[in-house]
Amino acid sequence: MSESSLRMSAQDAVLVVGAGIMGAGIAQIAAQAGHPVFLFDARPGAAAEARAKLDETLTKLVAKGKLSASAAQDTISRIEPVASLNAAANVSIVIEAIVEKLEPKRTLFQELEAIVNENAILATNTSSISVTAIANGLRHPERLVGMHFFNPVPLMRLVEVVSGLQTSAQVASEVYELARAWRKVPVHARSTPGFIVNRIARPFYAEALALLQEAAATPAELDACVRAAGFRMGPCELMDLIGHDTNFSVTQSVFEANFFDKRYVPSIVQRELVDGGLLGRKSGRGFYTYPASDDKTADEAATPRAATITRAGSVVVHGSGPMADRLAAAATRILAPQQLAPTRQPSSTWIGLDIDGARLALTDGRPAFVVAASTGIDDVAVFDWPLAAEGASGPARLAYAVSLSARPTWQAEAASWLAAMNFVPVPVADAPGLIVARTLCMLVNEAADAVQQGVCTTDGADVAMKLGVNYPAGPFEWLEAWGASRIVAVIQALDEAYRGERYRVSPWLRRACQKMPPGA
Protein backbone atom coordinates (compact mmCIF):
# COMPACT_ATOMS: atom_id res chain seq x y z
CA MET A 1 0.00 0.00 0.00
CA SER A 2 1.66 3.25 -1.05
CA GLU A 3 0.97 6.45 0.85
CA SER A 4 -0.39 8.24 -2.20
CA SER A 5 -2.88 5.43 -2.80
CA LEU A 6 -4.36 6.09 0.64
CA ARG A 7 -5.77 9.58 0.11
CA MET A 8 -9.52 9.11 0.10
CA SER A 9 -12.00 11.54 -1.40
CA ALA A 10 -15.78 11.83 -1.48
CA GLN A 11 -15.79 10.06 -4.84
CA ASP A 12 -14.50 6.88 -3.23
CA ALA A 13 -17.18 4.30 -2.68
CA VAL A 14 -17.85 2.84 0.77
CA LEU A 15 -19.32 -0.54 1.64
CA VAL A 16 -21.09 -0.81 4.99
CA VAL A 17 -21.70 -4.39 6.13
CA GLY A 18 -24.48 -4.79 8.70
CA ALA A 19 -27.57 -2.60 8.29
CA GLY A 20 -28.58 -2.48 11.95
CA ILE A 21 -28.67 0.60 14.14
CA MET A 22 -24.97 1.40 13.70
CA GLY A 23 -24.56 0.36 10.05
CA ALA A 24 -27.53 2.49 9.00
CA GLY A 25 -26.07 5.50 10.82
CA ILE A 26 -22.65 5.00 9.26
CA ALA A 27 -24.19 4.68 5.79
CA GLN A 28 -26.07 7.93 6.39
CA ILE A 29 -23.07 10.02 7.37
CA ALA A 30 -20.89 8.56 4.58
CA ALA A 31 -23.59 9.41 2.05
CA GLN A 32 -24.04 12.88 3.55
CA ALA A 33 -20.32 13.41 3.03
CA GLY A 34 -20.84 12.64 -0.66
CA HIS A 35 -19.66 9.02 -0.95
CA PRO A 36 -21.47 6.43 -3.00
CA VAL A 37 -22.45 3.88 -0.32
CA PHE A 38 -23.27 0.20 -0.72
CA LEU A 39 -25.16 -1.35 2.18
CA PHE A 40 -25.15 -5.10 2.78
CA ASP A 41 -26.79 -7.23 5.45
CA ALA A 42 -26.86 -11.01 5.83
CA ARG A 43 -30.60 -10.87 6.45
CA PRO A 44 -32.34 -10.50 3.07
CA GLY A 45 -34.26 -7.24 2.84
CA ALA A 46 -32.58 -5.67 5.90
CA ALA A 47 -30.47 -3.23 3.87
CA ALA A 48 -33.49 -2.04 1.86
CA GLU A 49 -35.49 -1.65 5.08
CA ALA A 50 -32.70 0.40 6.64
CA ARG A 51 -32.60 2.65 3.58
CA ALA A 52 -36.39 3.11 3.65
CA LYS A 53 -36.27 4.01 7.34
CA LEU A 54 -33.51 6.51 6.72
CA ASP A 55 -35.57 8.01 3.89
CA GLU A 56 -38.41 8.55 6.38
CA THR A 57 -36.07 10.15 8.92
CA LEU A 58 -34.60 12.51 6.32
CA THR A 59 -38.09 13.43 5.08
CA LYS A 60 -39.04 14.38 8.64
CA LEU A 61 -35.91 16.51 8.95
CA VAL A 62 -36.87 18.29 5.72
CA ALA A 63 -40.40 18.89 7.07
CA LYS A 64 -38.92 20.41 10.23
CA GLY A 65 -36.70 22.66 8.14
CA LYS A 66 -33.52 21.08 9.46
CA LEU A 67 -32.38 19.74 6.09
CA SER A 68 -32.91 20.91 2.54
CA ALA A 69 -35.00 18.66 0.27
CA SER A 70 -32.12 18.42 -2.20
CA ALA A 71 -29.60 17.38 0.51
CA ALA A 72 -32.00 14.67 1.68
CA GLN A 73 -32.53 13.48 -1.88
CA ASP A 74 -28.78 13.48 -2.61
CA THR A 75 -28.05 11.51 0.55
CA ILE A 76 -30.64 8.81 0.02
CA SER A 77 -29.83 8.45 -3.68
CA ARG A 78 -26.21 7.67 -2.82
CA ILE A 79 -27.15 4.64 -0.70
CA GLU A 80 -27.57 1.40 -2.61
CA PRO A 81 -28.66 -1.77 -0.84
CA VAL A 82 -26.76 -4.73 -2.28
CA ALA A 83 -27.45 -8.44 -2.09
CA SER A 84 -23.88 -9.69 -2.09
CA LEU A 85 -20.46 -8.76 -0.81
CA ASN A 86 -19.18 -8.50 -4.39
CA ALA A 87 -19.80 -4.75 -4.21
CA ALA A 88 -16.60 -4.69 -2.11
CA ALA A 89 -14.58 -5.01 -5.33
CA ASN A 90 -15.21 -1.33 -6.14
CA VAL A 91 -14.78 0.41 -2.80
CA SER A 92 -11.93 2.15 -0.99
CA ILE A 93 -13.13 1.20 2.48
CA VAL A 94 -15.40 -1.43 3.99
CA ILE A 95 -16.89 -0.61 7.40
CA GLU A 96 -18.20 -3.61 9.30
CA ALA A 97 -21.06 -3.21 11.79
CA ILE A 98 -22.34 -6.76 12.19
CA VAL A 99 -23.02 -8.82 15.29
CA GLU A 100 -20.53 -8.27 18.17
CA LYS A 101 -18.85 -11.69 17.96
CA LEU A 102 -15.28 -12.51 17.03
CA GLU A 103 -15.78 -15.47 14.69
CA PRO A 104 -18.40 -13.92 12.38
CA LYS A 105 -16.26 -10.78 12.13
CA ARG A 106 -13.12 -12.78 11.30
CA THR A 107 -14.95 -14.86 8.70
CA LEU A 108 -16.42 -11.75 7.12
CA PHE A 109 -13.07 -9.98 6.78
CA GLN A 110 -11.45 -13.09 5.32
CA GLU A 111 -14.24 -13.23 2.71
CA LEU A 112 -13.85 -9.53 2.01
CA GLU A 113 -10.11 -9.84 1.59
CA ALA A 114 -10.66 -12.09 -1.39
CA ILE A 115 -12.88 -9.47 -3.04
CA VAL A 116 -11.49 -5.99 -2.27
CA ASN A 117 -8.78 -4.27 -4.28
CA GLU A 118 -5.28 -4.19 -2.84
CA ASN A 119 -5.52 -0.66 -1.47
CA ALA A 120 -8.89 -0.97 0.23
CA ILE A 121 -9.09 -0.38 3.96
CA LEU A 122 -11.03 -2.74 6.19
CA ALA A 123 -12.58 -1.10 9.25
CA THR A 124 -14.50 -2.63 12.14
CA ASN A 125 -16.99 -0.80 14.33
CA THR A 126 -16.51 -3.30 17.16
CA SER A 127 -17.04 -1.77 20.57
CA SER A 128 -15.24 -4.40 22.60
CA ILE A 129 -13.42 -7.03 20.54
CA SER A 130 -9.66 -6.84 20.04
CA VAL A 131 -8.79 -5.42 16.61
CA THR A 132 -5.63 -7.55 16.72
CA ALA A 133 -7.75 -10.68 17.20
CA ILE A 134 -10.13 -9.80 14.35
CA ALA A 135 -7.11 -9.33 12.04
CA ASN A 136 -5.72 -12.76 12.88
CA GLY A 137 -5.90 -14.92 9.75
CA LEU A 138 -5.92 -12.02 7.26
CA ARG A 139 -3.29 -11.96 4.53
CA HIS A 140 -2.93 -8.22 5.09
CA PRO A 141 -3.71 -7.56 8.74
CA GLU A 142 -2.04 -4.15 8.43
CA ARG A 143 -5.06 -2.81 6.56
CA LEU A 144 -7.56 -3.64 9.32
CA VAL A 145 -8.38 -0.85 11.75
CA GLY A 146 -11.08 -0.09 14.32
CA MET A 147 -13.44 2.77 13.45
CA HIS A 148 -15.56 2.93 16.57
CA PHE A 149 -18.58 5.18 16.17
CA PHE A 150 -20.95 6.00 19.01
CA ASN A 151 -24.70 5.67 19.04
CA PRO A 152 -26.57 7.55 17.52
CA VAL A 153 -23.95 7.84 14.78
CA PRO A 154 -25.29 11.01 13.10
CA LEU A 155 -25.27 12.89 16.43
CA MET A 156 -22.27 11.58 18.35
CA ARG A 157 -19.10 13.31 17.21
CA LEU A 158 -16.47 10.95 18.61
CA VAL A 159 -14.78 8.21 16.58
CA GLU A 160 -12.14 6.05 18.24
CA VAL A 161 -9.60 5.03 15.59
CA VAL A 162 -8.32 1.79 17.05
CA SER A 163 -5.01 0.27 16.02
CA GLY A 164 -4.32 -3.41 16.57
CA LEU A 165 -0.79 -4.76 16.85
CA GLN A 166 -0.48 -5.07 13.09
CA THR A 167 -2.50 -2.06 11.92
CA SER A 168 -0.31 0.20 9.79
CA ALA A 169 0.11 3.78 10.96
CA GLN A 170 -0.86 4.94 7.44
CA VAL A 171 -4.16 3.13 7.58
CA ALA A 172 -4.94 4.56 11.03
CA SER A 173 -4.07 8.03 9.84
CA GLU A 174 -6.18 7.70 6.68
CA VAL A 175 -9.21 6.61 8.69
CA TYR A 176 -8.57 9.47 11.13
CA GLU A 177 -8.68 11.93 8.20
CA LEU A 178 -11.76 10.26 6.78
CA ALA A 179 -13.57 10.64 10.12
CA ARG A 180 -12.65 14.34 10.12
CA ALA A 181 -13.97 14.71 6.58
CA TRP A 182 -17.22 13.22 7.90
CA ARG A 183 -17.32 16.00 10.52
CA LYS A 184 -16.45 13.70 13.37
CA VAL A 185 -13.78 14.16 16.02
CA PRO A 186 -11.42 11.19 15.78
CA VAL A 187 -9.09 10.07 18.56
CA HIS A 188 -6.35 7.48 18.16
CA ALA A 189 -6.52 4.49 20.50
CA ARG A 190 -4.53 1.32 20.96
CA SER A 191 -6.55 -1.87 20.90
CA THR A 192 -6.87 -2.76 24.58
CA PRO A 193 -10.02 -3.86 26.45
CA GLY A 194 -12.72 -1.17 26.26
CA PHE A 195 -10.50 1.08 24.09
CA ILE A 196 -10.77 4.58 25.60
CA VAL A 197 -14.35 5.47 26.52
CA ASN A 198 -15.66 2.09 27.59
CA ARG A 199 -12.61 1.58 29.75
CA ILE A 200 -12.27 4.97 31.42
CA ALA A 201 -16.03 5.11 32.08
CA ARG A 202 -16.09 1.89 34.12
CA PRO A 203 -15.75 3.63 37.53
CA PHE A 204 -18.67 5.94 36.72
CA TYR A 205 -20.92 2.89 37.05
CA ALA A 206 -18.76 0.79 39.37
CA GLU A 207 -18.51 3.35 42.19
CA ALA A 208 -22.27 3.95 42.18
CA LEU A 209 -22.89 0.20 42.26
CA ALA A 210 -20.38 -0.21 45.11
CA LEU A 211 -22.17 2.51 47.11
CA LEU A 212 -25.53 0.85 46.45
CA GLN A 213 -24.14 -2.49 47.54
CA GLU A 214 -23.21 -1.08 50.92
CA ALA A 215 -26.51 0.81 51.12
CA ALA A 216 -24.67 4.12 51.43
CA ALA A 217 -27.19 6.06 49.31
CA THR A 218 -30.26 5.49 47.17
CA PRO A 219 -30.18 5.55 43.35
CA ALA A 220 -32.06 8.87 43.43
CA GLU A 221 -29.52 10.40 45.84
CA LEU A 222 -26.59 9.16 43.78
CA ASP A 223 -28.09 10.48 40.56
CA ALA A 224 -29.01 13.85 42.04
CA CYS A 225 -25.50 14.40 43.46
CA VAL A 226 -23.73 13.31 40.27
CA ARG A 227 -26.00 15.48 38.13
CA ALA A 228 -25.27 18.40 40.44
CA ALA A 229 -21.59 17.87 39.61
CA GLY A 230 -22.35 18.72 35.98
CA PHE A 231 -23.00 15.29 34.45
CA ARG A 232 -26.04 15.14 32.17
CA MET A 233 -27.25 11.95 33.79
CA GLY A 234 -26.54 10.17 37.03
CA PRO A 235 -25.04 6.66 36.94
CA CYS A 236 -28.25 4.83 37.88
CA GLU A 237 -30.51 6.54 35.37
CA LEU A 238 -27.79 6.13 32.73
CA MET A 239 -27.48 2.38 33.40
CA ASP A 240 -31.27 2.17 33.16
CA LEU A 241 -31.06 3.90 29.77
CA ILE A 242 -28.20 1.79 28.39
CA GLY A 243 -29.84 -1.39 29.67
CA HIS A 244 -28.39 -3.40 32.55
CA ASP A 245 -27.78 -6.42 30.32
CA THR A 246 -25.62 -4.36 27.94
CA ASN A 247 -23.82 -2.47 30.70
CA PHE A 248 -23.21 -5.67 32.66
CA SER A 249 -21.86 -7.49 29.61
CA VAL A 250 -19.43 -4.66 28.76
CA THR A 251 -18.21 -4.69 32.39
CA GLN A 252 -17.84 -8.45 32.27
CA SER A 253 -15.91 -8.37 29.00
CA VAL A 254 -13.51 -5.70 30.31
CA PHE A 255 -13.10 -7.75 33.53
CA GLU A 256 -12.39 -10.99 31.67
CA ALA A 257 -10.14 -9.33 29.11
CA ASN A 258 -8.03 -7.99 31.98
CA PHE A 259 -7.58 -11.47 33.42
CA PHE A 260 -10.04 -10.76 36.23
CA ASP A 261 -8.29 -7.69 37.56
CA LYS A 262 -10.28 -6.73 40.70
CA ARG A 263 -10.45 -3.13 39.55
CA TYR A 264 -13.07 -4.10 36.97
CA VAL A 265 -15.05 -6.60 39.01
CA PRO A 266 -18.76 -6.56 38.03
CA SER A 267 -21.39 -5.84 40.66
CA ILE A 268 -23.79 -8.28 42.26
CA VAL A 269 -26.29 -5.44 42.47
CA GLN A 270 -26.35 -5.24 38.69
CA ARG A 271 -26.26 -8.99 38.24
CA GLU A 272 -29.42 -9.29 40.31
CA LEU A 273 -31.19 -6.73 38.14
CA VAL A 274 -30.13 -8.63 35.00
CA ASP A 275 -31.14 -12.00 36.44
CA GLY A 276 -34.49 -10.56 37.42
CA GLY A 277 -35.14 -9.12 33.96
CA LEU A 278 -35.10 -5.58 35.39
CA LEU A 279 -33.11 -4.24 32.46
CA GLY A 280 -34.00 -0.57 32.78
CA ARG A 281 -36.12 1.57 30.49
CA LYS A 282 -36.49 -1.11 27.85
CA SER A 283 -38.12 -3.56 30.28
CA GLY A 284 -40.10 -0.94 32.20
CA ARG A 285 -38.07 -1.25 35.37
CA GLY A 286 -34.48 -1.05 36.51
CA PHE A 287 -33.44 1.19 39.38
CA TYR A 288 -36.52 3.21 38.55
CA THR A 289 -39.88 2.33 37.06
CA TYR A 290 -40.93 3.60 33.64
CA PRO A 291 -42.62 5.62 32.31
CA ALA A 292 -43.36 7.33 35.65
CA SER A 293 -40.84 7.35 38.42
CA ASP A 294 -42.10 8.59 41.75
CA ASP A 295 -38.89 7.81 43.62
CA LYS A 296 -36.88 10.23 41.51
CA THR A 297 -39.35 13.07 41.49
CA ALA A 298 -39.67 12.81 45.26
CA ASP A 299 -35.97 13.43 45.61
CA GLU A 300 -35.99 16.26 43.07
CA ALA A 301 -38.74 17.94 45.04
CA ALA A 302 -36.95 17.63 48.39
CA THR A 303 -37.03 21.00 50.07
CA PRO A 304 -33.66 22.40 51.02
CA ARG A 305 -33.16 22.69 54.77
CA ALA A 306 -33.64 26.06 56.37
CA ALA A 307 -30.33 27.83 56.13
CA THR A 308 -30.36 29.58 59.49
CA ILE A 309 -27.14 29.57 61.42
CA THR A 310 -28.08 29.89 65.07
CA ARG A 311 -24.72 29.58 66.74
CA ALA A 312 -21.24 30.63 65.75
CA GLY A 313 -18.66 31.89 68.17
CA SER A 314 -15.50 31.38 66.19
CA VAL A 315 -15.22 30.22 62.61
CA VAL A 316 -11.83 29.43 61.07
CA VAL A 317 -11.38 28.67 57.38
CA HIS A 318 -8.66 26.07 56.95
CA GLY A 319 -6.53 25.41 53.87
CA SER A 320 -5.70 27.43 50.79
CA GLY A 321 -6.61 27.49 47.12
CA PRO A 322 -9.83 28.22 45.22
CA MET A 323 -11.98 25.85 47.31
CA ALA A 324 -10.81 27.38 50.61
CA ASP A 325 -11.42 30.85 49.14
CA ARG A 326 -14.92 29.83 48.14
CA LEU A 327 -15.61 28.62 51.69
CA ALA A 328 -14.15 31.81 53.16
CA ALA A 329 -16.40 33.96 50.97
CA ALA A 330 -19.43 31.90 52.01
CA ALA A 331 -18.52 32.04 55.72
CA THR A 332 -18.00 35.81 55.52
CA ARG A 333 -21.44 36.23 53.98
CA ILE A 334 -23.10 33.88 56.50
CA LEU A 335 -21.52 35.50 59.57
CA ALA A 336 -22.06 39.11 58.46
CA PRO A 337 -25.55 39.47 60.05
CA GLN A 338 -24.00 38.52 63.43
CA GLN A 339 -21.23 41.07 62.93
CA LEU A 340 -18.70 38.29 62.93
CA ALA A 341 -16.03 37.36 60.39
CA PRO A 342 -14.11 34.13 59.88
CA THR A 343 -10.37 33.96 60.39
CA ARG A 344 -8.09 31.97 58.07
CA GLN A 345 -5.56 29.21 58.62
CA PRO A 346 -4.11 28.80 55.10
CA SER A 347 -1.27 26.50 56.18
CA SER A 348 -3.65 23.75 57.34
CA THR A 349 -3.42 20.46 55.49
CA TRP A 350 -7.21 20.14 55.32
CA ILE A 351 -9.79 22.34 53.66
CA GLY A 352 -12.94 23.30 55.49
CA LEU A 353 -14.40 25.16 58.42
CA ASP A 354 -13.74 24.90 62.13
CA ILE A 355 -16.98 26.03 63.69
CA ASP A 356 -16.61 26.45 67.46
CA GLY A 357 -14.33 23.41 67.51
CA ALA A 358 -16.47 21.23 65.23
CA ARG A 359 -15.04 20.30 61.86
CA LEU A 360 -16.81 20.63 58.50
CA ALA A 361 -14.25 19.38 55.97
CA LEU A 362 -14.00 18.86 52.22
CA THR A 363 -13.53 15.12 51.94
CA ASP A 364 -9.95 13.94 51.55
CA GLY A 365 -11.32 10.44 51.06
CA ARG A 366 -11.35 9.46 54.73
CA PRO A 367 -14.72 8.79 56.32
CA ALA A 368 -15.80 11.26 59.03
CA PHE A 369 -15.35 8.61 61.74
CA VAL A 370 -11.69 8.15 60.73
CA VAL A 371 -11.11 11.92 60.85
CA ALA A 372 -12.78 12.03 64.27
CA ALA A 373 -10.64 9.17 65.58
CA SER A 374 -7.40 10.63 64.27
CA THR A 375 -8.04 14.19 65.52
CA GLY A 376 -9.90 13.46 68.75
CA ILE A 377 -12.69 15.79 67.59
CA ASP A 378 -16.15 14.27 68.11
CA ASP A 379 -18.13 16.63 65.90
CA VAL A 380 -16.92 15.98 62.37
CA ALA A 381 -18.76 16.21 59.06
CA VAL A 382 -17.18 15.65 55.66
CA PHE A 383 -18.69 16.94 52.42
CA ASP A 384 -18.30 15.97 48.79
CA TRP A 385 -16.41 17.80 46.06
CA PRO A 386 -18.60 20.53 44.58
CA LEU A 387 -17.66 20.27 40.95
CA ALA A 388 -20.05 22.64 39.22
CA ALA A 389 -19.31 26.33 39.45
CA GLU A 390 -21.00 28.05 42.38
CA GLY A 391 -24.50 29.20 41.59
CA ALA A 392 -24.32 27.57 38.15
CA SER A 393 -28.00 26.69 38.28
CA GLY A 394 -29.27 27.38 41.77
CA PRO A 395 -28.39 25.40 44.90
CA ALA A 396 -26.68 22.12 44.00
CA ARG A 397 -27.07 18.84 45.86
CA LEU A 398 -24.00 17.86 47.79
CA ALA A 399 -23.44 14.65 49.75
CA TYR A 400 -22.14 14.83 53.31
CA ALA A 401 -21.61 12.40 56.17
CA VAL A 402 -21.35 12.95 59.91
CA SER A 403 -19.12 11.03 62.32
CA LEU A 404 -20.74 8.46 64.58
CA SER A 405 -19.37 10.32 67.57
CA ALA A 406 -21.09 13.60 66.63
CA ARG A 407 -23.73 15.08 68.89
CA PRO A 408 -27.22 15.32 67.32
CA THR A 409 -26.94 19.12 67.39
CA TRP A 410 -23.86 18.98 65.15
CA GLN A 411 -25.63 16.71 62.68
CA ALA A 412 -28.26 19.42 62.23
CA GLU A 413 -25.76 22.27 62.26
CA ALA A 414 -23.49 20.71 59.65
CA ALA A 415 -26.46 20.47 57.27
CA SER A 416 -27.46 24.08 58.04
CA TRP A 417 -23.98 25.32 57.27
CA LEU A 418 -23.94 23.49 53.94
CA ALA A 419 -27.37 24.89 53.13
CA ALA A 420 -26.20 28.39 54.07
CA MET A 421 -23.28 27.85 51.69
CA ASN A 422 -25.88 27.39 48.95
CA PHE A 423 -25.90 23.61 48.71
CA VAL A 424 -28.76 21.19 49.14
CA PRO A 425 -27.16 18.85 51.67
CA VAL A 426 -27.78 15.15 51.02
CA PRO A 427 -26.96 12.99 54.07
CA VAL A 428 -25.35 9.69 53.05
CA ALA A 429 -23.58 6.91 54.91
CA ASP A 430 -20.06 7.63 56.10
CA ALA A 431 -18.43 5.95 53.06
CA PRO A 432 -14.90 6.84 51.98
CA GLY A 433 -14.76 9.49 49.24
CA LEU A 434 -18.56 10.03 49.43
CA ILE A 435 -20.08 10.06 45.92
CA VAL A 436 -18.59 12.56 43.49
CA ALA A 437 -15.03 12.62 44.89
CA ARG A 438 -14.57 8.87 44.73
CA THR A 439 -16.13 8.61 41.26
CA LEU A 440 -14.07 11.43 39.85
CA CYS A 441 -10.80 10.18 41.39
CA MET A 442 -11.33 6.69 40.04
CA LEU A 443 -12.13 8.08 36.57
CA VAL A 444 -8.90 10.07 36.64
CA ASN A 445 -7.00 7.02 37.89
CA GLU A 446 -8.33 4.85 35.07
CA ALA A 447 -7.50 7.52 32.50
CA ALA A 448 -3.98 7.83 33.94
CA ASP A 449 -3.46 4.09 33.57
CA ALA A 450 -4.76 4.21 29.99
CA VAL A 451 -2.23 6.92 29.16
CA GLN A 452 0.54 5.05 30.97
CA GLN A 453 -0.24 1.98 28.87
CA GLY A 454 -0.13 3.95 25.61
CA VAL A 455 -3.85 3.51 24.90
CA CYS A 456 -4.32 7.22 24.24
CA THR A 457 -2.89 10.64 25.01
CA THR A 458 -4.15 12.86 27.82
CA ASP A 459 -5.83 15.12 25.24
CA GLY A 460 -7.30 12.08 23.52
CA ALA A 461 -8.79 10.86 26.81
CA ASP A 462 -10.32 14.29 27.54
CA VAL A 463 -11.85 14.60 24.08
CA ALA A 464 -13.09 11.01 24.14
CA MET A 465 -14.86 11.33 27.49
CA LYS A 466 -16.41 14.70 26.69
CA LEU A 467 -17.68 13.65 23.25
CA GLY A 468 -18.21 9.90 23.72
CA VAL A 469 -20.14 10.05 27.00
CA ASN A 470 -20.80 13.80 27.39
CA TYR A 471 -18.76 14.28 30.58
CA PRO A 472 -18.71 17.92 31.68
CA ALA A 473 -14.89 17.87 31.63
CA GLY A 474 -12.14 15.44 30.71
CA PRO A 475 -10.28 13.42 33.36
CA PHE A 476 -7.07 15.37 32.86
CA GLU A 477 -8.94 18.65 33.16
CA TRP A 478 -10.19 17.45 36.56
CA LEU A 479 -6.66 16.42 37.42
CA GLU A 480 -5.46 19.92 36.60
CA ALA A 481 -8.21 21.50 38.71
CA TRP A 482 -8.01 19.26 41.79
CA GLY A 483 -4.33 18.31 41.80
CA ALA A 484 -2.73 14.88 41.64
CA SER A 485 -1.90 14.68 45.34
CA ARG A 486 -5.52 15.29 46.40
CA ILE A 487 -6.75 12.65 43.95
CA VAL A 488 -4.12 10.15 45.10
CA ALA A 489 -5.11 10.80 48.73
CA VAL A 490 -8.74 9.90 48.03
CA ILE A 491 -7.78 6.67 46.23
CA GLN A 492 -5.45 5.76 49.09
CA ALA A 493 -8.25 6.36 51.59
CA LEU A 494 -10.48 4.07 49.53
CA ASP A 495 -7.75 1.44 49.51
CA GLU A 496 -7.32 1.83 53.24
CA ALA A 497 -11.04 1.32 53.76
CA TYR A 498 -11.61 -1.62 51.44
CA ARG A 499 -8.21 -3.25 50.99
CA GLY A 500 -7.51 -5.24 47.86
CA GLU A 501 -6.44 -4.41 44.34
CA ARG A 502 -9.40 -2.37 43.27
CA TYR A 503 -8.27 0.98 44.61
CA ARG A 504 -4.64 0.99 43.56
CA VAL A 505 -3.11 4.24 42.45
CA SER A 506 -1.89 4.46 38.86
CA PRO A 507 1.91 4.79 38.72
CA TRP A 508 1.34 7.61 36.22
CA LEU A 509 -0.66 9.50 38.84
CA ARG A 510 1.97 8.95 41.52
CA ARG A 511 4.53 10.50 39.21
CA ALA A 512 2.17 13.40 38.46
CA CYS A 513 2.15 14.17 42.22
CA GLN A 514 5.84 15.01 42.01
CA LYS A 515 5.45 17.62 39.33
CA MET A 516 2.00 19.13 39.94
CA PRO A 517 1.19 21.81 42.48
CA PRO A 518 -1.86 21.07 44.65
CA GLY A 519 -5.07 22.19 42.91
CA ALA A 520 -8.45 23.18 44.35
**Using CB under 6 A as the criterion, which residues of the chain lie in contact with ligand NAD when the complex forms?**
17-23, 41-43, 46, 97-100, 104, 108, 125-127, 149-151
What DSSP character marks residue 302? P
Task: Name the residue whose CB lies closest to ligand NAD.
Answer: 20
In the complex, what is the shortest distance from the CB of residue 510 to ligand NAD, in angstroms, rounded to a whole number?
33
Q: Measuring CA to CA, which residue among 294, 29, 336 is closest to residue 156?
A: 29
- Shortest Å distance, C-beta 289 to ligand NAD: 24
The answer to whether the beta carbons of residues 407 and 385 sit under 8 Å apart is no
- Long-range CB contacts (within 8 A, 24+) of 140-147: 140/113, 141/166, 141/167, 142/1, 142/166, 142/167, 142/168, 142/171, 143/1, 143/168, 143/171, 144/109, 144/171, 145/121, 145/171, 145/172, 145/175, 146/189, 146/191, 146/195, 147/95, 147/123, 147/175, 147/179
- Whole-number minimum distance, CB 103 to ligand NAD, in Å? 10
Output 83 or 429, the one with its CB closest to ligand NAD.
Answer: 83
Nearest 5°: the CA angle 192, 194, 200 is 110
CB-nearer residue toward ligand NAD: 98 or 217 = 98
CB of 15 to ligand NAD, least distance (A): 11
Residue with smaller CB distance to ligand NAD, 100 or 325: 100
- Taking CA atoms, 182 is separated from 19, 30, 313, 501, in Å, by 19, 7, 63, 42
- Which of 35, 80, 92, 127 is catalytic? The answer is 127
CB of 147 to ligand NAD, least distance (A): 10
Contact call for residues 428 and 221 (beta carbons, < 8 A):
yes
**Which residue is catalytic, options 125, 198, 247, 506?**
198
Give the chain's largest Cα–Cα span: 84
Closest CA to 350 of 302, 310, 387, 382: 382
> Which is closer to ligand NAD, CB of 47 or CB of 489?
47
Considering only CA atoms, which of 102, 106, 109 is closest in space to residue 129?
102
Whole-Å CA distances, 212 to 219, 270, 285, 363: 7, 10, 17, 19
Q: Which is nearer to ligand NAD, 255 or 385 (CB)?
A: 255
Identity of the residue, 23 or 36, whose beta carbon is nearer to ligand NAD in the bound complex: 23
C-alpha triplet 43, 112, 143: angle, nearest 5°: 130
- 76 phi, psi to nearest 5 deg: -65, -35
As measured in angstroms, the least distance from the Cβ of 261 to ligand NAD is 22
Amino acid letter, 97: A
CB of 115 or CB of 335, closer to ligand NAD: 115
Residue 127 appears among annotated catalytic residues: yes
86 labelled catalytic: no
136 is catalytic: no
User: Is the Cβ of residue 96 or residue 207 nearer to ligand NAD in the bound state?
Assistant: 96
In the complex, minimum distance from the CB of residue 58 to ligand NAD, in angstroms, rounded to a whole number: 19
- Nearest C-alpha neighbor of 319 from the set 343, 342, 349: 349
- Answer whether the bond into residue 291 is a cis peptide, omega within 30°: yes
- DSSP letter at 184 equals -
Q: Is position 198 annotated as part of the catalytic site?
A: yes
8 Å CB contact between 17 and 94: yes
Q: Which is nearer to ligand NAD, 93 or 97 (CB)?
A: 97
- Nearer to ligand NAD by Cβ, of 184 and 326: the residue is 184
Q: Are strands 79-82 and 37-40 parallel, antiparallel or unpaired?
A: parallel
Identify the CA nearest to 332 among candidates 348, 319, 344, 349: 344
DSSP-derived secondary structure letter, 230: T
Strands 185-190 and 37-40, bridge-based pairing: unpaired
Q: How far is the CB of 47 from ligand NAD (least distance, A)?
A: 8
DSSP secondary structure letters along 103-122: HHHHHHHHHHHTTS-TT-EE
- Closest approach of Cβ 184 to ligand NAD, in Å? 13
Alpha carbons 17 and 123: distance in angstroms, whole number: 10
Catalytic pick from 35, 148, 244, 318?
148
Closest CB 149 distance from ligand NAD, rounded Å: 6
Residues in the chain: 520
Residues marked active site are found at 127, 148, 160, 198
